[in-house]
Amino acid sequence: MDEVVLAVQKVKDEWNQTFPQTQGHIEATEACGKSGRGSEEANSLPRLNGAAQDGLALLSLYSLGLMF
């Protein structure tokens, strides 16, 4: 296979792995505080937010990788 095709496939595979993880972190962040476990969830919120932001940054990099 051509190098470009392999590079595109690698980015697609990484995207397909990262997207559902990031979506899960975002959904968990949105649900934080709804279950009534107060302080336990409040402690998790910064971690979930950071994980979601990291995932979004990776997805942005993958998107740029496909553009060039």
pTM: 0.71
d(CA 51, CA 32): 14
d(CA 51, CA 68): 26
Enter the tokens of residue 35: 């279950």
Confidence class of residue 3 from pLDDT cuts 50, 70 and 90? confident
Domain boundaries, position 37:
3-67
Find the Cα–Cα–Cα–Cα dihedral 32, 58, 19, 66, rounded to 10°: 160
15-59: per-residue pLDDT in tens?
999 999 999 989 988 887 776 666 666 678 888 889 999 999 999
The total number of structural domains in the chain stands at 1
